[in-house]
Structure 1
Amino acid sequence: MPSSYQAPSRGDQAKKTTRSQPAESNMSQDTATVQHLISRKGGTVYTISSADTLSTAVHRFRDRRIGALLVTDDNGALKGILSERDIVRKLAETPGQTLPQTVAETLTSKVETCTPSDALVSVLRRMNEGRFRHMPVKDGDRLCGMLTIGDVVNFRLNELEYEALQLKQMIVG
């Protein structure tokens, strides 16, 4: 032991512990929601009628640079979703006769949706487990956006980068 060391005695006061921020904020789990992403991305929803042809859908995919269209009725109610994958499957089934067919003949009618208050982690899990890449966002009966797997993964990657930066700053001081 160094000669300058002095063992603590009963009369010594315990050292006060300090923190750079409250423990509660270090432990908080602020969960990102669908609304976080929609507010950044925007709530644009691209739709098509079930009576339109697949040719019309393909042109919208190309012109809008998107991979799925929501199929709605005249009142805007969700009837299904049409994705690039749906069209590729139809091309394999009916080569050379696909583009004149209607959206109604090809769409996926069982559509998974989410709400603005859903946690992004749960939405990502549902998309991964269901093996689909597009999920409409509904607030009640109203369509208010569309999430893609790329949107959710990109948002989460940005969060992770920010968290890593915060950790580095805490360590460096």
Structure 2
Amino acid sequence: MITVDDILREKRHSRIITVRMNETVATAALIMKRENISSVVVKDVCRTEGNTVVGVFSERDVTRALVDFGANAVAMPVASFIKRTLTSCALSDSIGTVLRLMNEHEVRHLPVLAEHGLVGVISATDLIRHYLHEEEADVPSGHAAAGAGVVLSALR
């Protein structure tokens, strides 16, 4: 069984990018652009000196903020746009568990917590990359593209 821990070990980016809840949408968007990532983990500002994970702010949240509030959104705090209930996973969770969580909560990024501390972030893209890597390892050369087509059609 492949676990979240296995996927995190494969990831290229080992840094976990976080912002505080009071950071603006503009600041979070600039950080995501600069780091070439699609989400940031949001941490609490006052409780436990900013070490509590309270949510994930993603490109999708930027879009929703701009559609709902126009140009005013860029000055609003990211806390205004994150889901109020944190959905996370553990290092020992299977890929199937992660996919079910993402589907059930309609999210594409999950913070990975161990002993209540943030140890990583897993995304739908990470799962796709893992699957494609496994397909390339299992399929004779030249047939990997066919496997990719199967994955993409399954995601539609």
Task: Name the TM-score class by shorter chain.
Answer: 0.7 to 0.9
Q: RMSD across aligned C-alpha pairs, in angstroms?
A: 1.6
Structure 2 vs 1, CA of residues 108 and 89 (structure 1 numbering), >3 Å: closer, same or farther? same
Give the alignment partner of residue 109 of structure 1, picking from 81, 84, 100.
84
Aligned residue pair count: 135
What pairs up with 1:23-172 in 2 under 5 angstroms? 31-41=1-11, 43-73=14-44, 74-164=49-139
Give the TM-score of the pair, scaled to structure 2: 0.78
| Long gaps (5+) in structure 2 | 141-156
Q: For residue 53 of structure 1, report the CA deviation from its aligned partner.
A: 1.0
In structure 2, distance between residues paired with 1:126 and 1:141: 18
Identity across matched positions, percent: 28
- The aligned amino acid for 2:41 is L
* Structure 1 counterpart of 2:152: none
Higher Cα radius of gyration: 1
Counterparts of 1:101 and 1:129, CA distance in 2: 28
Structure 1 residue ranges without an equivalent (≥5): 1-30, 166-173
Question: Structure 1, residues 100-132: CA drift from partner, whole Å, max 9, x if none?
Answer: 111122222222111111111221232234332
Q: Which runs of 4+ in 1 moved over 3 A?
A: none
Q: Which structure's residues are more often helix, by fraction?
A: 2
